[in-house]
Amino acid sequence: MFPLLTLAGVVLLVYELVLHRWLVHEIARIAGPGMVGNMLPQDVLRTFLDSIYGENAANHDVVSGVLGGEGVRPGGEGLTISTHTTVELEASAIDHDTYHLMSTVSYSFKTPVANDKFVIFATCDPLLRDSIIAGCRLPLCDLWYVGDPDLFHESIEDMLPSVNIGMSYTDESNRLHTAALERVKPTDVKFERWADYLTFFREPMGPMPRQNPRRHLNTLRIFECDLSGLAYADHIVSTIERLTVQVTTLQPVDEGFLYWQSPYPCYVDTISLKVTDLSVHDRVFEYRIMPFTFRSNTESVRWLPADQLDDLDVRSWLLPGHGVVLVWREAR
């Protein structure tokens, strides 16, 4: 009896130490991808985060940020994720006090986006600036921020004629076409409809109470661009595969910084910064790049003259809230 019990104990020990772990791994390897593929992305990631972080309502923000959307459709359908992104920022002085910032951002989407509307949020309110991306449930959007409230409305009117958009799209027959970068005319969204665009006008968002649109009439504007207008006359836009957005904004020089922030999950290759034309007459600046990313490959944290600023070699994922800031000061 004793040898039999000993043998049973050894077998049980081997199972617990080796076979059990191997069986669990093999079952997960075989069944896992199929099971996960049939589950809603939101459920998969939320369950995982709750098990690691603990249950918390704020986990929803992480889920939406990582997924690039709500994740309520199987297979990642309906999510906005750019797997190849380039950013070009160019600042040119108008006078001692103001400058034009031209940004050109190109996205290539992992899953073609089944939407032909591009929405622009413009604000001078820091609270809205930090809340809009989390509160937006639309697949294609951009955020303009003007730090000087006195310059806000002038800046918006100045930038609207500068909006240029290009895209690669599929038509109703799933044929791929390319529309070159051209000017579009954004349509002003009336404040009565703002709740359709931002969740915090419908309900509280985390610690942020529900907002009243009337209180933000002087600090927020929303515009919508109809991308179907860029397609050939006889085409119906079915999906957007690639998108390039170019816009020029009016900014105050003395604010001392410019920045770009990712609106959805983006694998960013490079961020190009051109500021040689920002210095005017006797005002000469030096610059410092301050990325807020997972990793940025920044080679220098020194203050540099404009002609020594290299492109930022990112080669990393940026989630909503990630980006890069370029700060400047008078040359010393």
Q: Which residues contact residue 246 at a Cβ distance below 8 angstroms, ignoring those fewer than 6 apart?
A: 102, 103, 104, 105, 162, 163, 164, 165, 181
Lowest mean pLDDT among 102-111, 161-170, 286-295: 286-295
**Residues 116, 40 share a domain:** no
Q: Based on the domain organization, do 167 and 300 belong to the same domain?
A: yes
pLDDT per residue as tens digits for the range 74-116:
666 677 899 999 999 999 999 988 999 999 999 999 999 998 9
Pair 223, 164 in one domain: yes
Residue 73 — very low, low, confident or very high, per pLDDT cuts 50/70/90? low
Q: Average pLDDT, stretch 292-309?
A: 77
**What tokens were used for 40?**
């809603």
| Distance from C-alpha of 231 to C-alpha of 169, rounded to nearest angstrom | 8
Average pLDDT estimate for 130-135:
85
Per the prediction, the chain carries an average pLDDT of 84
Which of 76, 106, 123 is where one domain is finished? 76
Give dist(CA 45, CA 91) in Å, integer.
40
Task: Give yes or no: residues 291 and 204 share one domain.
Answer: yes
What is the three-class DSSP state of 16? helix
Q: Which of 52, 76, 100 is the last residue of a domain?
A: 76
Taking each helix axis as running N to C, give the angle between helix 59-67 and helix 41-53, from 0 to 180 degrees, rounded to the nearest 10.
130
- Nearest Cα neighbor of 314 from 262, 274, 270 is 270
Residues 20 and 114 in one domain: no
268 Cβ neighbours under 8 A, 6+ residues apart = 85, 86, 87, 262, 293, 314, 315, 316, 317, 318
Sheet bearing 141-145, strands edge to edge: 141-145, 117-123, 220-226, 187-189
Residue 175's pLDDT band (cuts 50, 70, 90): very high
pLDDT in tens, 196-221: 999 999 999 878 899 999 999 999 99
Same domain, 221 and 121: yes
Which pLDDT score, from 0 to 100, does residue 201 have?
93
Shared-domain flag, residues 9 and 156 = no
Helix intervals (H) in the chain: 2-14, 20-37, 41-53, 59-67, 126-129, 132-135, 152-159
Q: 78, 66, 61: which is closest to 319 by C-alpha? A: 66
Domain boundary residue, one of 61, 76, 91: 76
User: Tens of pLDDT along 35-68?
Assistant: 555 567 777 777 777 888 888 777 777 777 776 6
Q: In this structure, are residues 89 and 260 in contact, taking their beta carbons and an 8 Å threshold? A: yes
Question: Per-residue pLDDT averaged across 299-315, rounded?
Answer: 84
* 91 and 199 together in one domain: yes
What's the domain count of the chain?
2
Q: Write down the pTM of the prediction.
A: 0.82
Q: Assess whether 67 and 185 both reside in one domain.
A: no
Residue range(s) defining the domain that contains residue 312: 82-330
Same domain, 32 and 121: no
Residue 28 above 90 pLDDT? no
Residue 70 confidence class, pLDDT cut points 50, 70, 90 = low
Mean pLDDT of all residues in 275-304: 81
Tokens standing for 126?
């820091």
- Contact assessment for residue 221 and residue 154, using Cβ atoms and an 8 Å cutoff: no
Closest Cα to residue 152, out of 218, 95, 248, 93?
218
Are residue 171 and residue 299 in the same domain, yes or no?
yes
Report whether pLDDT(222) > 70. Answer: yes
Judge whether 285 and 279 are in contact, CB under 8 Å: yes
47 and 167, same domain (yes or no): no
**Per-residue pLDDT at 121 exceeds 90:** yes
> What per-residue confidence (pLDDT) applies to 158?
86
